[in-house]
Amino acid sequence: MNLRPRRVEEPEIILIPLIDILLMLLIFFMLATTFRHVSDMAINLPEAAQQQLPDREQKLLDVAIDEQGRFFIDRQAVVNSDIETVKRAMQKAAGARKELVVTISADAHTLHQSVIIAMDAARQLGLFKIGIATQPLTSPAN
């Protein structure tokens, strides 16, 4: 029988497995997390893979917007880009015909607000058939 007092060893914390587990968790979360880079997306809205041509029998109201945001309704320049002015010019060109298809031909670098002004003016006049003119893709999509 051994009656000597036992030596109580203090528990030892081994840090190497703890560090290994923390690094594994860090790597897991780095790989599992998705980061969105909005600036990496190249969007060119005026191009489309397919163009849908309007019927030849339908009447069109052409609204063109250049890069500076100037409006041209049926090739006639509009004085300014105010929505009321654009709406009056569209009303003058459309007359009483509500069956017209409004075709918006906006430059690729024009402000989105200009296109919204044209769409809103057409909607306020009761012209609900609106199309956006596009051109075929110049290069295949990646």
pLDDT value of position 117: 93
pLDDT along the chain (142 residues), means of 10: 74 87 92 58 46 58 87 88 92 86 87 91 90 72 50
Which domains are seen in the chain, by residue range?
47-136 (3.30.420.270)
CA distance 61 to 132: 12
Q: What is the pLDDT of residues 27-41, one digit of tens each?
A: 998 888 766 544 333
**What is the pLDDT, as a whole number, of residue 42?**
37
pTM of the full predicted structure? Answer: 0.57
Q: Please give the Cα distance from 89 to 33 (Å, whole number).
A: 52
The number of angstroms, rounded, from the C-alpha of 1 to the middle of its chain's C-alpha atoms is 85
d(CA 113, CA 86): 13
Task: State residue 38's pLDDT score.
Answer: 42
Tell whether the torsion through CA atoms of 67, 68, 69 and 73 is positive or negative: negative
pLDDT at 49 (0 to 100): 58
User: 3-class DSSP state for residue 8?
Assistant: coil
DSSP 32-64: H-----GGG----TTEESS--PPPTTS-EEEEE
